[in-house]
Amino acid sequence: MVKLRLKRFGKKRMPTFRLIAIHSTTRRQAIPLEELGFYDPRTKETRLNVEAIQKRLKEGAQPTDTVRRLLEKASILEPIARKTSPAEAVTNTNG
Interval 29-85: pLDDT, tens: 889 999 999 999 999 999 999 999 999 999 999 999 999 999 999 989 888 776 666
Residue pair 18/6 in contact (Cβ under 8 Å)? The answer is: yes
Report the pLDDT averaged over residues 15-34: 91
Structural domain spans, the chain: 2-73
**CATH architecture assignment, domain 2-73:** 2-Layer Sandwich (3.30)
**What count of other Cβ atoms lies within 10 Å of the Cβ of residue 4?**
23
Angstrom distance (rounded) from CA 87 to CA 68: 23
Give the global pTM: 0.78
